[in-house]
Amino acid sequence: MKSSFVVSPVITATCAVLCGTLMDALVKYVGQSVDLLTLVFWRFAIATVFVAVPFFATGRRLPGWKATRFHAMRGLIHVFAAYLFFFALSKLELAEVTVLGFTAALLIIPVARVLLGEKMHPISLLAGLVGFAGVIATFVGTDFEADITPDRMIGFVSVMTSACLYATSLVLLRMRAALDGGFAVAVYANFFPAVFFAPIAFTFGEPAQFGDVPILLFIGFFGMMIWLLMTSAYARAPAQRLAPVEYTALLWSALLGWFIFKEVPSANLWIGASLIIGACMIVLWQDHADRKAAKAG
């Protein structure tokens, strides 16, 4: 009797989230010595090599020009979302940026309403209000004047703008993911951001030092693994089952922030995180109920 070891999709998705948090931690760490423009370019350029080589080596081919043009537009949005997120890491604590980044899941609803004309449920509006309360609780501590500094405000605006752009990117992805396949999407998702950011990085950025190359390679590797692991997980399990795994990023970021940067998450962060995660779970429940009703009808 032959037996094969298959990793649970939940574990696979958890590993993908861990890879994403490790990438963010490395970006925050190396950002102290590598110019951000250069860092963003190499993050996508290295990941492109990691994902494109096995893609083409196995005989796969990219979709036609229609898909390519679509992913080029999405890549432009995605690269600026990444830039703003990485910039926020230089202004705020790792766990704080992670929690505020969770709001992208809530922002998908209004973005889908604008771009796809999807109906907004009253429950989703309630979830948005709860999530907004979580954002305020996360960012504003007990000492208002100490917490609302110019640097922190810049970081806050950056991560929230990034969340809006990332939500837009995800909504657009829903329009092509099933047609193009996860592996092809991973190639596009890294190639176009690298192409778009190359002129900016080489014109205005400062070259990375040789000693930073190993960390840049790890950043690119983790960036690739996020897509491949998530694609594998979502291909084998429903989204409702895997979505809560996304919030393990808070645990990973809290541990890495404490271990690497000596950052200790405040009580306000945990309160805010609970509200934001609760709001996202409300949206998830509503989506599940809608899908169940649609099947029954």
Q: What is the pLDDT of residues 90-112, one digit of tens each?
A: 999 998 999 888 888 778 778 87
Residue 238's pLDDT is 62
Grouping H, G, I as helix, E, B as strand and the rest as coil, residue 91 is coil
Task: Tell me phi and psi for residue 59, to 5 degrees.
Answer: 85, 5
Three-state secondary structure of 35-49? CHHHHHHHHHHHHHH
Give alpha helix (H) positions in the chain. Answer: 9-30, 36-57, 65-89, 94-101, 104-116, 122-139, 144-147, 150-174, 177-180, 182-204, 213-236, 239-242, 248-261, 267-296
Residue 97 burial by CB count (10 A; 0-12/13-18/19+): exposed, middle or buried?
A: buried
Contact 97, 24 (CB under 8 A): yes
Structural tokens at position 170? 């995800």
Instruction: Determine the pLDDT at residue 2.
Output: 45
Distance CA 264, CA 247 (A): 18
Residue 3 has what pLDDT? Answer: 46
Query: How far, in Å, CA of 36 to CA of 204, rounded?
Result: 10
The rounded distance, in Å, linking the Cα atoms of 96 and 250 is 9
Per-residue pLDDT tens for 4-60?
556 777 788 889 889 999 999 999 999 888 999 999 999 999 999 998 998 899 888
CA nearest neighbour of 153 among 173, 142, 139, 172: 139
Name the stretches of the chain with pLDDT < 50.
Answer: 1-3, 142
